[in-house]
Structure formats: structure tokens, C-alpha cells
Structure 1
Amino acid sequence: MKYVVILGDGMADEPIESLNGKTPLQTAEKPVMDEMARTAEQGIAYTVPENLPAGSDVANLSMLGYDPQQYYSGRSPLEALSIGVDMKDTDIALRCNVVTVTEDGEYEDKEILDHSAGEITSEEAEVLIEAVKKELETDEFKFYPGVSYRHLTIWDKGQVIDLIPPHDILGKKIGDYLPTEPKLKEMMKKSFDILNHHPINEERAKKGLNKANSIWFWGAGTKPALDNFKEKTGMNGAMVSAVDLLKGIAVGAGMRNLDVEGANGGLDTNYHGKAMAAVKSLLENDDDFAYIHVEAPDEMGHQGNVENKIKSIEYLDSQVVKVVKEELEKAGEEFRILIGPDHPTPIAIRTHSKEPIPFMIYDSTKKVEGQNEYSEEAARKTGLVVEHAYELMNRLLQK
């Protein structure tokens, strides 16, 4: 038996008036998932405990079978694992986004226009982070480039302090949300002067693209310690994701990371390549389990782009779910697939919510009476509620 999790990050939503009261998941043309739903188990699950932030870090730990109350130590430390930064026990990791802020006025009066700087390329962002590093790096603060807009700062003998994610304050003046720690606040202010007229950003502006003209610190945490996935489940596992957070979780759990050319975390990511990488690992590399993470629905939710959120779900259906299902069937493999988001990213609020997620478990060997579609409403109608989403892994593995 092979086991697969297909994770559409932020895929769940609320009913939207312009969609005639439907959600993007209900509106999307997703014939494969809807066909699977007719003979699959559906329900809702709570991925984020009340006392923890509604982040992809907490929620993906849950979906991978790790109780976040036990294992969560912050988002950035997991990304540090992915980048290959060996944290000391006294280190604090900080997420260091490059973001787009308005250009006029004092720094405190600026607004965040775009938390991802137009989904800037990793190549452009690395040049910008190197410019920041040259001016701001000290023995106390070290900067490391990551993927697209997501980068890392290590704070020697620092503190875990409350920091606001930039995607939570889109369109708001940043003054009330800046760090209370003076050193962090000062580096953010200086970064605008370093980045706003950098040649990379001047070129982006000429093309009508958003500048990556400030850094933004958030997601502070300490060195993580995850139990080994194979020791926990008895299975070899592989991770397919474009983002450092998921790659870091995989490193911490002792899973293999599968790199896919063209996988970038955006709407135009290499969906088919990700599906085939997972299939190959299951059929040729003796892996028992694959976790395929697709970031695009979450990014479209943050952008408030309902049309592209629908597209991202349709791409997930036709280029990931369909491919994995058909390739495993063709190979004669028995399999179980868990499909779901990690958390909702509703278009209306453009950030994550703690509402329960709809999940579906499909078994190639066992048909049950299901629903006519896979959606938030269909999942709620079943009455099946999993209070702690980390228990879904055992449900998938039939343990």
C-alpha cells in the first residue's frame, strides 16, 4: 500500500457573493477530486489549536501527523533546517520577507502593498538580500537567502518575541505593527533606504512589477526537534514542495526532499513535475509515503485574487491529483490518498483563518458511500469532525 497526502495550501474558503454564494473549491472544475469524493470519506478537521498562530507551519505539522502543541517551536527554525543553517541552542531564527511598501512619507506611515513583492524570483531576491547583508549583517545578526520572497535571519542569543506576519496587515500603516525590539525595527527602516532604489527594484518598477523595497521580520523561534518520520510511522517518506518551510519540516523529520525544476510556489509552478516526482519516489525509490505540497491557492488567497485561486485548484486537480491517481493505478499499486488544505485562506480577509479544513481520504481498494463533490460544504454534511488534525495521519495509515 502506498500513501499520499496532496496538500492545497490555503485552498479552503468562505462563500463568496460574486461566485453566487459558493467557495472557490465548489466553483472550480475539478472532475477528478469530485469523482473520488463519491466513494471516499470526507470530514472536517481542526489543524490549528486556539493558542497557536494560524500559520502554515502549525497547520502542516498537524497534517503530517505531528501535534503542534508538542513540536512547534516557531516557523523560521524549520526554514533554517531547509536552508542548511545549523542553529545553536541559543539562536533565534526570524523569517525575513522582502515586501512591497508604499514609498512616500516616514517609514512608520508606509503601508504594506504586497507581502510577496509580486512573487519575486529567487534570483532577484538573493541579490537584494546580499545588499541588505552587506550593510546590516553583524556578529549578532546573520542573513541567509531563501526562496522567492522568503528569507532567514539568525539572531545570536536573541529572544522569541511577538512579531506580526506581513500578510496579516496588507493595506495597513505599518507603524503600529513594527517590532518593539529597537534593533529589529531599525534594520527594517534602514532596509528601505538600501532597497528602494536598488537597480533590481528600479528595473522591476520599469516593468510594472512591485518593488521588494523593505525587509520584514516575523515568525521567531528556537531550534526545532521533530521525531523521525520513519521511526514514528514505520515508513520511508518523501516531501515535494517549493517552499523552505515544508522542506525544513522534511529535514527535521528525516524525510527526503524531492527537488522539482520549475517548482516555485506560484500559480505557474510545475504541478505535473511535482506529481511525477512523488510517483517516481513511490514506485522506484522504495518510498511508502509522499507529501505533495502546492502553495499556489494560498498565494492567490493572500492576493485576494478569486479567479486565480479557482485556477490553482483546477491545476491541482488536473495536473497533480489526476496524475498521481492514474500513475499508481497504471502501476497496479494499491494506495490511499488524503486531500486537503492546511488551513483556509479566505479571499475576503486575505490571510489565514483557524476554521476547520475539509479533508477527503480515498482508498483504491475500498469504496464507501461518499458525497457528490469534494468541498467545505460536502465535508461538513458528513458530520465527521476530527478535533485534532494530527490524528488524520493515523486515519490515513489505518492505525
Structure 2
Amino acid sequence: MKYLVMLGDGMADEPLEALGGKTPLEYADTPVLDSYAARSEIGMVATIPAGMAPGSDTANLSVIGYDPREYYTGRSPLEALSIGVPMKPTDVALRCNIVTLSEDDVPYEKKTIIDHSSDEISTEDAAILLKAVAEELQDETYQFYVGTSYRHCLIWAGGQVVPLIPPHDVLGQVIGQYLPADKKLREMQERSFEILSKHPVNLERKKKGLNPANSFWFWGAGTKPALSPFYEKYKKRGVMISAVDLLKGIAVGAGIENKIVPGANGGLNTNYEGKAQTAVDALLKEGYDFAYIHLEAPDEMGHQGSVEKKVRAIANMDRRILGPIREQMDASGEDYRLLVLPDHPTPIRVRTHVPDPVPYLLYDTTAPGKYDWHYNEREAAKSGRFIDRGCELMGYLFSK
């Protein structure tokens, strides 16, 4: 038996007037999911423990089988693991987004945050900008590390886990009340704007009609995590297929092998087919038991507030990832179980994460059935199945 998880980040949503009262998941053209649903168990699962922030960090830890209440020490430390950042127990890691702030002639604290991803800036451009700021601000206490796209890392030696606001939670708002209370962190954000707003990379981006990547934004502070090995928990050898440092970091911490897919970038135009083929090859050719396929695009489109692009991301997942997987897995004759779900909702209405339960689909080649339902939030809720501890879902997948 082989096992797959297809995680559509932020895929769940609310009924939208623009879609005739349907959610993006209901509205999208998903023939592969529909055919799976006709032979699958569907239901709802709570991936975010009560009282915890609805982040992809807590949610994916939960889905992978680690209770966030026990294992979560912050988002950025997980990302630091993925890019090989050395962390001491006394270090604090912070996510360093390169964001777009308004360039009106007002003090820094009166500027508005326009884009948390700077038009999904390339890693190559971001690395140039990070270096420009690091050359002035980096010292023995504060060290910067390049991540992927707009997502980077700051290590604060002997630092504190201070409360910080994710930039995607305050899009379109004046930033003053959301800036770090820590004086040094705030000063570094302000100075980064002074350096980046006139950098040649950003001058060129504006000529091309792209948002300038003109400020650092710190958030997600935490200390070095310690996850128990995935193989010890489940006796399964697994691979992680993701373009996102957070997921790669969880994999490193859990002893799951990261598979790098060329062209996978965390955006709408990622290498969908490459993700599918990498999963199939890991299971059928390389002897792994389990593949976790993470698709960031639905979440990014939710943060952008684009109904059309979120629908397209879900349809792409169906046709370009699940389609090839189903074709090759079925042709192989290998029995398998497939779990499909989001980590959390990212509703278009609010453009950020919410902690609501999410729909799951569980398919098993050895458990044929015939049902009338489709995979979406509405029908999953009507099924009457509810798993109130998301961290138990992985064990359910393996033991069902």
C-alpha cells in the first residue's frame, strides 16, 4: 500500500456572490476530484487547535501528524531548518518578508502595505535586495539568510520571541500600529525601506509594471524546534514535495526527505506536472511509502484576493497534479490511499487565514464504493464526519 497527501494550501473558502453562491472549490472544474469523491470518504477536520493562530505552520504540522500544542515553537525556525541555517538554543528566528509598501511622501509608519509578496518576486532578485540591506544592517547579533521568493530569514542571537503581525493579515492597511514594538527591529524595517526604495532592481521592476520590493517585514518569531522522527511515529518512509521553505523545514525536522522540483516556485505558474511526476517516481520507482505534495498557489491567490486565479489554481491542481497521479498509480496496479485537503481556509473576503475546519477526501483503492457527493466544503460538512484533532488524521490515513 502506498500513501499520498495532496495539500491545497488555503484552498477552502466561503460562498462567493461572484461565483453564484459557490466556493472556489465548488466552482472550479475538478473532474478528477469528482471521480475520486464518488468512491471516497469525505468529511471535515479541524487542523488548527483552539486558541492557536491559523497559520500554515500550525496547520501543516497538524496534518503531518504533530500536535502543534506540543511541537510548535514558531514559524520561522521551521523555515530556517529548510535552508540550513545554524541555530543555537538561544537564537530566535524571524521570517523576513520583502514586501511592497506605498511610496507616498509620508513617514514610514503612515505608509500602507500593498503586497506581502512583492508580486511573487523571484529568489534571484530578492537575494540581491537582501544582500544590499544585510551589508549595512547585519552584525554578530543579526544575521540574514536567503530563502525563496519573498520569504527570507533573520537570526537574532540571544533574542526574544516577540509578538509580530504577519503582513498578509494587514494588507491594504496603514502599518503604524502593526510595526514591531522592539526598537531595533522597527529601525531595521525603516532603514530597509530607505535602501530598497531606490535600489536599481526596484527601479527596473517599476518600469516593468511590477510592485517594488521596498521593505523588510519581520514576523513569525520562534526558537529551534525538535520534532520526533516521522518514521519512528508511523514506520513509513516519506518525501515532501513543496516549493515553500516552511514545508521543507517541517520535513527536515521530521526526517522526511525533501524532493526539489525544478520550476516549482510557490506561485500560480508553478511546475504542477513536475510535482506529480516526482511523487509517482518516489512511490513506484524509489521505494518510498508516502508522498506529501504541497501546493501553495491557492493560498497565494487567496491573499491576493483574486477569485479567478484561486479557481484556476484549484483546477490546475486537479488536472495537472491529481490527473497524472491517478493515471500512473492506477496503471501500476499498486494499491494506494490518497488524502486531499487544505491546511486552512484563506477566504477571498478577508485575504488571510481563518481557523475554520476544512474538508477532506480519503480515497482507498481497496475500499470501493459509490456515492453521489462531490468534494467541497458544503458537501463535506453535510457528510456528518468530523475529526476534531487534525494531528490524528495522518494516523487515520495509515491505519484505515
State if a TM-score over 0.5 links the two structures.
yes
Contact 1:141 1:156 in 2 (8 A): yes
Displacement, 1:366? 0.8
Alignment of 1:377-392 (within 5 A): 377-392=378-393
Percent identity, aligned pairs only, is: 57
Could you say what secondary structure the match of 1:360 adopts? strand
Note if 1:368 corresponds to 2:369.
yes
The residue aligned with 1:69 is: 69
Residue type at the aligned position of 2:78: L
The residue aligned with 1:250 is: 251
Gaps of 5+ in 1: none
The residue aligned with 2:260 is: 259
For residues 130 and 371 of structure 1, the distance between their equivalents in structure 2, rounded to whole angstroms, comes to 55
Note if 1:356 corresponds to 2:363.
no
For residues 14 and 96 of structure 1, the distance between their equivalents in structure 2, rounded to whole angstroms, comes to 30
Query: Bigger shift: 366-375 or 222-231?
Result: 366-375
The residue aligned with 1:36 is: 36
Could you say what secondary structure the match of 1:262 adopts? coil
Displacement, 1:370? 3.4
The residue aligned with 1:7 is: 7
The residue aligned with 2:199 is: 198
Note if 1:166 corresponds to 2:167.
yes
Note if 1:299 corresponds to 2:295.
no
Query: Bigger shift: 117-126 or 316-325?
Result: 316-325
Note if 1:101 corresponds to 2:116.
no
Contact 1:41 1:368 in 2 (8 A): no
For residues 370 and 100 of structure 1, the distance between their equivalents in structure 2, rounded to whole angstroms, comes to 47
Residue type at the aligned position of 1:94: L
For residues 212 and 13 of structure 1, the distance between their equivalents in structure 2, rounded to whole angstroms, comes to 28
Displacement, 1:175? 0.3
Note if 1:212 corresponds to 2:213.
yes
For residues 236 and 264 of structure 2, the distance between their equivalents in structure 1, rounded to whole angstroms, comes to 25
Contact 1:41 1:370 in 2 (8 A): no
For residues 242 and 135 of structure 1, the distance between their equivalents in structure 2, rounded to whole angstroms, comes to 29
The residue aligned with 1:80 is: 80
Poorly superposed stretches of 4+, deviation over 3 Å: 368-371
The residue aligned with 2:56 is: 56
Displacement, 1:371? 4.1
Displacement, 1:50? 2.1
For residues 204 and 139 of structure 2, the distance between their equivalents in structure 1, rounded to whole angstroms, comes to 29
Could you say what secondary structure the match of 1:146 adopts? strand
For residues 73 and 324 of structure 2, the distance between their equivalents in structure 1, rounded to whole angstroms, comes to 35
Note if 1:153 corresponds to 2:169.
no
Contact 1:144 1:151 in 2 (8 A): yes
Render the CA deviation track for 1:96-128: whole Å, top value 9, x for unaligned: 000000012100000100000000000000000
Could you say what secondary structure the match of 1:151 adopts? strand
For residues 49 and 367 of structure 2, the distance between their equivalents in structure 1, rounded to whole angstroms, comes to 32
Residue type at the aligned position of 1:49: P
Residue type at the aligned position of 1:300: M
Gaps of 5+ in 2: none
For residues 374 and 115 of structure 2, the distance between their equivalents in structure 1, rounded to whole angstroms, comes to 34
Give the RMSD, CA atoms, in angstroms: 0.7
Could you say what secondary structure the match of 2:217 adopts? strand
Note if 1:143 corresponds to 2:144.
yes
Query: Bigger shift: 101-110 or 367-376?
Result: 367-376
Displacement, 1:176? 0.3
The residue aligned with 2:27 is: 27
Residue type at the aligned position of 2:19: L
For residues 51 and 131 of structure 2, the distance between their equivalents in structure 1, rounded to whole angstroms, comes to 36
Contact 1:191 1:215 in 2 (8 A): yes
For residues 225 and 64 of structure 1, the distance between their equivalents in structure 2, rounded to whole angstroms, comes to 15
Residue type at the aligned position of 2:360: F
Could you say what secondary structure the match of 1:62 adopts? helix
Residue type at the aligned position of 2:45: A
Structure 2 length-normalised TM = 0.99
For residues 267 and 257 of structure 2, the distance between their equivalents in structure 1, rounded to whole angstroms, comes to 22
For residues 62 and 126 of structure 2, the distance between their equivalents in structure 1, rounded to whole angstroms, comes to 30
The residue aligned with 1:111 is: 112
Q: How many residues are treated as equivalent by the alignment?
A: 399
Could you say what secondary structure the match of 1:95 adopts? strand
The residue aligned with 2:278 is: 277
Could you say what secondary structure the match of 1:392 adopts? helix
Residue type at the aligned position of 1:114: D
Residue type at the aligned position of 2:330: E
For residues 197 and 208 of structure 1, the distance between their equivalents in structure 2, rounded to whole angstroms, comes to 16
Render the CA deviation track for 1:190-243: whole Å, top value 9, x for unaligned: 000010010000000000000000000000000000010111100100000001
Displacement, 1:372? 2.4
Displacement, 1:167? 0.2
Displacement, 1:331? 1.2
